[in-house]
Chain A
């Protein structure tokens, strides 16, 4: 079946550095991808919608300059956490809808730890 991959699966960084997370749809094209943040024992919070060829759409309360999203191609979206701080530590998940099967597929997630 369709697969969405994320890289890296885990990353530890120092406070003040930037971290890039990649999300790829492996066997289908996705003009739209979604980025979520999941806190421990909590649900997924939608951060933004990544749109191929145009600007991302951010949910209310999500800082655009903090969480940079680039949808470079029909199979790749990246989330860059800029000037990371410990409160940015979280589990970040991407998803991509396959419009042919009308199913949304999720990546395995990226665990970010900011020291």
Chain B
């Protein structure tokens, strides 16, 4: 079945550092790919998405490119802030389906 694997955390960085959180997937067909963020004490929020190969999703300085050849959707940000501290989830939605398959989540902590 469909699955998502993301880099294990926790990840701790200093403010203004470069961030990469790796995400790879296994799916039949052509899934849509998502990054969700869960801030402390809050529900999941959609951060960005890409629906087809080579699409780049971006939001709040975060970017991820749908790479079909490497089945990857790595999350990047050039300069992180303390307020980016959260748990980040990579997810996919198979073609024609509505339910999401999530990766295990990566806890990110940014120190001032």
Name the residue among B43, B104, B107 with the largest chain A CB count within 10 angstroms. B43
Query: Is there a chain B Cβ closer than 8 Å to A54's Cβ?
Result: no
Digit string of A92-108 for contact with B (CB within 8 Å is 1, else 0)?
A: 01010100000111111
Residues of chain A with a CB closer than 8 A to B99's CB: 34, 46, 49
Query: Is there a chain A Cβ closer than 8 Å to B35's Cβ?
Result: no
Asked if A43 and B98 make an inter-chain contact with CB atoms under 8 angstroms apart, the answer reads: no
Chain B residue nearest to A59 (CB atoms) is B99
In the assembled complex, how far is the CB of residue A53 from the closest CB belonging to chain B, in whole angstroms? Answer: 16
Interface size class of A (residues with CB under 8 A): 10 to 19
In the assembled complex, how far is the CB of residue A94 from the closest CB belonging to chain B, in whole angstroms? Answer: 9
Chain B residue nearest to A107 (CB atoms) is B43
In the assembled complex, how far is the CB of residue A40 from the closest CB belonging to chain B, in whole angstroms? Answer: 11
Q: Knowing A41-B107, A43-B89, A44-B89, say if A109 contacts B43 (CB, 8 Å).
A: yes
The prevalent SS among residues of A at the interface is strand
For the complex, give the distance between the alpha carbons of A26 and B89 in Å.
Answer: 24
Interface residue ranges, A against B (CB under 8 Å)? 4, 32, 34, 41-44, 46, 49, 93, 95, 97, 103-109
Q: Knowing A42-B105, A43-B89, A43-B105, say if A97 contacts B98 (CB, 8 Å).
A: yes
Contact of B98 among A32, A42, A105, A106 (CB under 8 A): A32
Residues of chain B with a CB closer than 8 A to A43's CB: 89, 102-105
Query: Is there a chain A Cβ closer than 8 Å to B27's Cβ?
Result: no
Digit string of B87-112 for contact with A (CB within 8 Å is 1, else 0)?
A: 00100010000111111110100000
Query: Is there a chain A Cβ closer than 8 Å to B46's Cβ?
Result: yes
7 A-B interface contacts by CB (under 8 A): A42-B104, A44-B89, A46-B99, A49-B98, A93-B43, A95-B100, A109-B43
Query: Is there a chain A Cβ closer than 8 Å to B79's Cβ?
Result: no
Contact of A106 among B45, B103, B104 (CB under 8 A): B45
Residues of chain A with a CB closer than 8 A to B98's CB: 32, 34, 49, 97, 104
Residues of chain A with a CB closer than 8 A to B104's CB: 42-43
Residues of chain A with a CB closer than 8 A to B93's CB: 104
Chain A residue nearest to B89 (CB atoms) is A43
Asked if B43 and A104 make an inter-chain contact with CB atoms under 8 angstroms apart, the answer reads: no
